[in-house]
Amino acid sequence: MSVEKFSYDNKIVKYFIIATVVFGVVGMLVGLTIATQIFWPAANFNISWLTFGRLRPLHTNAIIFAFVGNAMFAGVYYSLQRLLKARMFNDMLSWIHFWGWQAIIAAAAITLPLGYTTSKEYAELEWPIDIAITLIWVVFGINMIGAILKRRERHLYVAIWFYIATFVTVAVLHIVNSMEVPVLMFKSYSVYAGVQDALVQWWYGHNAVAFFLTTPFLGLMYYYLPKAANRPVFSYKLSIVHFWSLIFLYIWAGPHHLLYTSLPNWAQTLGTVFSLMLIAPSWGGMLNGLMTLRGAWDRVREDPVLKFMVVAITAYGMSTFEGPMLSLKNLNAITHFTDWIIAHVHIGGLGWNGFMIFGMLYWLVPKMWGTKLHSTKSANLHFWLGTLGIIIYALPLYWGGVVQSLMWKQFTPDGFLQYANFLETVTKILPFYMLRLLGGSLYFTGVIFMIINLMKTAKAGSFIANEDAEAPALEKKVITGSTFHAALERKPIQFTILTLIVISIGGALEIIPTYMVESNIPTIASVKPYTPLELQGRDIYIREGCVSCHSQMVRPFRSETERYGEYSKAGEFVYDHPFLWGSRRTGPDLHRTGLGNKNAKPNSWHYTHMYDPRITSPGSIMPRYLWLHENTLDISSTPAKIEAMQTLGVPYPDGYAATANDDLRIQAEAIAADLNSGDIETSSDKEIIALIAYLQRLGTDINGEK
Amino acid sequence: MFKHYFEGAENIEVGPIISLIIFFVFFIGLLYWVIKADKEFINKMKDMPLDETSVDNNNLNKKD
């Protein structure tokens, strides 16, 4: 058997590590900024691109795709080469992957603050960037599968299965959820509407958490934890069961984000049941990780790498227990739309992803620079700052979430809402927001210590760009008599296809029926498409990220119908491309804000409210939207928007695109005249007019039914 | 009127049942294989991350 000499590419890993750290800092700083703005709105300096609604998606995208994404690639590129005993497939592909991904991040950092967004959570990037993501993701896939094909190790270690599942599933999720009709260079409409769009989005959103933040990191755990502890994983058999049950079950759980909404009941129940079942594989994985350290717990006291990993795995266990619990309808009724969810995701983000990344970096950098960690003391300080940071971040939000939720639901003995003014429930929890900022700051301080420590470590060593290795070539031979799974582990292509089938079952069985059902629903006769002005207003609502803080989904609870009005019906959203149900109520629900509804307000109220929310609602934490009163509405896009909607099946009359702006002007002038009559000086061509038109339309169609 | 929405979804009850059966069969098969799996093979797979192939010319990766 001939021994082949080759080398591992460490340079690409180094670059991904640098990108991880840089974008980690950026993403966390944006997080701290919006954490400040939420109790002190003036911190946006009244600059449109610094407002909460626009920065919130930047924060989530930066953390998920830039910080965690780059860390995932660094971890995969390092471990994959060693587990395969082969260099990556092609160095050029590695670099296209690296620079392509960074270019996508740069595009996101520019377009999101400018208000170019699809408004679908974690999929906000507009269509040209969506295409770029697809291409670069495919480059990553080719590079990975290619490396697997030229491997010198016959069987694929469990970590690689997780990487393959990540690649396959993220590709499917991204493509299905990003189906959109381009309208302008940076504007598109989702091909799905209302209930369908919501289901597809949360099938995506939930599985972005599953297959971008979880499966690749479980793969990393199965490689780096044994490495750091210098002992094999507790049970390899358990890891096999863990893998297949996790990827099979995860894909079903999306609808738990839509409990009590207008989503059909069967889909909601399906989401709950599969979420509950998920506890088993999740905890199997967690126990497998923790048990790997059996007999080595004394080393956890000494080694910061193990410390970070133990807390990371514990955080994984906590959030994967919490997730299924939050999927129970009774608990979901209290926690949904509150800060509890924000705390929940940050246990996952700060604890699981963040701490796994830190542990991995503290292990990788000394290794790749051929030296020892500069300061274990500093790493320990980082560990404690981070751990305290997570606790001080999460506890106030858990507390505040419950406080606010109970206030929303509190009735007086006479049967009235005790806190009828939504603002009372907001001002009550502001102190919790301040504590959250403190927690986040502590966590961030720890990261600064890490950066200094890692830089000093790198300086002390010398970087090994190409690490020499040798291994016997893989002989071509026919193996007979082995069992199904052992054979599968030798066949990467078949393995990938089986993974694709497994993850497709859940998605298909959930989403296809909603199509079928949608075609079966008789549309509510009185639900009509938006007028051109309302459509433009809706796009301003999307641009400003209003959906970050306002839901449009009144759930069928007495406390909500009492506060907002009639609960939301599936048939009301059939022309909503995209849906705007929201996921957090920092401000009140807006679905019944329109004229003639329970929460209707005069045009002048909206005008003044957008100018300065503190005038109409003292104590409000909403940003001012001064530019809406100054900017002229761009109506040149109206025909293209109407045509795009027609393509999607919205029943505007034939040829309406050409005359739509005439109707737009008539409606705008009526609103402007109404405002003028109330001593407000404005003209009909301002953006605020379109936004008011949209808000006045919200949830009104159903009134025609009565 | 909205009950039509759910009426349209009647046949869908079989969906979850089919998938449950698929998963159950798959899971049992998997469990069977895992339990019967060759111990030597499992141990070999288990040790894979610890199997160093780097040529350690400078003893850089040596454990102290």
Q: Do B34 and A237 touch (CB under 8 A)?
A: yes
Q: Are A265 and B6 in contact (CB under 8 A)?
A: yes
Question: Could you tell me the pLDDT band of residue B3, with boundaries at 50, 70 and 90?
Answer: very low
Q: How far is B9 from chain A (nearest CA, A)?
A: 6
Size of interface A-B (CB pairs under 8 A): 130
Q: Reply yes or no on whether the pLDDT at B17 is more than 50.
A: yes
Question: Could you tell me the pLDDT band of residue A109, with boundaries at 50, 70 and 90?
Answer: very high
Q: How far is A481 from chain B (nearest CA, A)?
A: 12
Q: pLDDT for A281-298, tens place per residue?
A: 999 999 999 999 998 899
Q: How far is B3 from chain A (nearest CA, A)?
A: 9
pTM of the entire structure? 0.94
Question: Could you tell me the pLDDT band of residue A516, with boundaries at 50, 70 and 90?
Answer: low
Query: Stretch A613-617: mean pLDDT, rounded?
Result: 95
Asked if A501 has any chain B CB less than 8 Å from its own CB, the reply is no
Name chain B contacts of A569, Cβ cutoff 8 Å. Answer: 2
Q: Do B6 and A264 touch (CB under 8 A)?
A: yes
Q: Reply yes or no on whether the pLDDT at B6 is more than 90.
A: no
The closest of A209, A40, A47 to A121, measured between CA atoms, is: A209
Asked if B63 has any chain A CB less than 8 Å from its own CB, the reply is yes
Give pLDDT, residue B61: 45
Give pLDDT, residue A262: 82
The length of chain B is 64
| Chain A from 360 to 399: CB within 8 A of any B CB | 367, 370
Burial of A145 (0-12, 13-18, 19+ CB in 10 A): middle
**Coil/strand/helix, residue A632:** strand
CA distance A175 to A204: 10
Q: Reply yes or no on whether the pLDDT at A596 is more than 80.
A: yes
Distance between first and last Cα of chain B: 74
Give pLDDT, residue A1: 63
| Chain A from 244 to 303: CB within 8 A of any B CB | 244-245, 248-249, 252, 264-266, 270, 273
Q: pLDDT for A48-95, tens place per residue?
A: 999 999 999 999 999 999 999 999 999 999 999 999 999 999 999 999
Q: How far is A662 from chain B (nearest CA, A)?
A: 35
Question: Could you tell me the pLDDT band of residue A419, with boundaries at 50, 70 and 90?
Answer: very high
**Cα of B41 vs its chain's centroid, Å:** 17
Q: pLDDT for A327-347, tens place per residue?
A: 999 999 999 999 999 999 999
Question: Which pairs count as long-range contacts for A511-515, CB under 8 Å and 24+ apart, including other chains?
Answer: A511/A176, A511/A196, A511/A199, A511/A200, A511/A203, A513/A267, A513/B9, A513/B12, A513/B15, A514/A195, A514/A196, A514/A199, A514/A264, A514/A267, A515/A196
Q: Do B19 and A506 touch (CB under 8 A)?
A: yes
Question: Could you tell me the pLDDT band of residue A253, with boundaries at 50, 70 and 90?
Answer: confident
Q: pLDDT for A230-248, tens place per residue?
A: 999 999 999 999 999 999 8
CA distance A688 to B61: 64
Q: Do A244 and B50 touch (CB under 8 A)?
A: no
The average confidence (pLDDT) of chain A is: 93
Query: Stretch A98-127: mean pLDDT, rounded?
Result: 97
Asked if B30 has any chain A CB less than 8 Å from its own CB, the reply is yes
Q: Are A247 and A170 in contact (CB under 8 A)?
A: no
Q: Name the more confident of A346 and A481.
A: A346
Instruction: Mutation target for A interface from B14, B23, B38, B62: give the one with most A CBs within 10 A.
Output: B23
Proportion of chain A above pLDDT 90, given as a percent: 84
Give pLDDT, residue A2: 80
